[in-house]
Structure 1
Amino acid sequence: MPASPSLRLGQVLRVAAPTAAAGSSEASPADGTVASAAPVNHTVVAGESMYGIARRYGVSIKQVMEWNNKADTNVKLGEVLVIKAAK
């Protein structure tokens, strides 16, 4: 029986970062780290928190807040956050 193309709750997906030719910088490597020293743009999706985003990229919440001139840790659906390379 062929695999079902639908997604299941709790399923882990591994997505490759787009190539430079694609012109997008909104993805990170599967291990959750920033691939280069160049900043990336992260678009907030449903269910994400500042904590989860910072953890995904290996940076602190404070760093994300500073890079994006945020006064608090609230994020909004569709908001684009600049994420710089972890040092």
Structure 2
Amino acid sequence: MKAKPDNRDDNVEKLQEAVQNTIGNLREAEDYLEEFGDELGNNEQQAIESKNDRRKESIRGFREEIKDEAQAEQQRNS
């Protein structure tokens, strides 16, 4: 069985979609905390805030990858 060739043509689009999905999840969690934060236990609230911190870090990483992929795509097309 042969390995698939490395097709990176749509990596930037996939990464941008992942950023948008992650931002949507982040906002949804922030809205949830805003609406129900007073009703949540401290542990649950901290767990959501920690997850949002990880989401923010993921977004930064995705954006760096997008820059790298865009540069690589530009070099491939030159």
Q: Same fold (TM over 0.5)?
A: no
Tell me which protein shows more helix as a share of its residues: 2
Tell me which protein shows more strand as a share of its residues: 1
TM-score normalised by L of structure 1:
0.21
Which protein shows a greater Rg?
A: 2
Which protein has greater RCO, CA pairs closer than 8 Å, 6+ apart? Answer: 2
TM-score normalised by L of structure 2:
0.22
